[in-house]
Amino acid sequence: MKSYYPTGAHVNFGAYTDVFVRSKIILIMSYELRLGRVTAF
């Protein structure tokens, strides 16, 4: 299992529908929102 995710968030959602992965993406998105850069979108 890879521990990094692309900032474009263009991942295969068929293989990344884990609750753990989704919560990690949300953590990364909230961290980027803290920095003031919305790079997930």
Model confidence pLDDT, tens digit, residues 4-30: 555 555 555 555 567 777 888 888 888
pLDDT digits 0-9 by tens, 24-39: 888 888 887 787 765 5
Q: Judge contact between 24 and 5, C-beta under 8 A.
A: yes
Check residue 34 and report its DSSP letter: H
CA distances from 28 to 17, 19, 20 (A): 16, 14, 12
Do residues 30 and 14 lie in contact, with contact meaning Cβ atoms separated by under 8 Å?
no
Dig out the tokens for 7 from the structure.
């900032």
Where do the structural domains in the chain lie, given as residue ranges? 6-41
Query: What single-letter DSSP state applies at residue 27?
Result: H
